[in-house]
Amino acid sequence: MVAEQRIVEVSRIVSGSMEPTLAVGDWLISTSIPMLNLPIARGDIVTFYPPRGRPSPIPLVKRVIGLPGESVAVRGGAVFIDGTRLDEPYLHGTSTPYSMVVAKVPEGTVLVLGDNRGRSEDSSVFGAVELRRLRHKVWLRIAPTSRHCSFAGPVLGFPPCT
């Protein structure tokens, strides 16, 4: 399947896998990773089509947790990168008591998790995602207006997302 690529895309959240950060009904603006040659960093929220064998008509939205070459594990709901606990303030103190065995992130891939770990089909289910499958990096939450914010810090009058 070849998907049309846009530099900027507007999309609506349709699942609770990224709660509390993104709620069902939130509207987002995201920017093309390949067309703008955007770097990928831990904590980025990205869209992608799931790996082969897990078809989806719409891209998934998840957070980049593990980078190429790192070892990632989840114990008691806490993420560990190369043995060091990851600070995840975007979870707002929520924790899902689940675990994931240590996984080495292969070169050319990233490990992605939903913020709502108990309700997310992510790398804990389908493994690492190839960098070439990443489509967009989420930039702004534009609606509802009571929740508008920027994932890139304060920009265009949007406050930073917390």
Which residues are known catalytic residues? 17, 62
| C-alpha Rg value of the chain to the nearest Å | 15
16: CB partners within 8 A, 6+ apart: 23, 24, 116, 119
| Half-sphere exposure for 85 (CA within 13 Å, toward CB) | 7
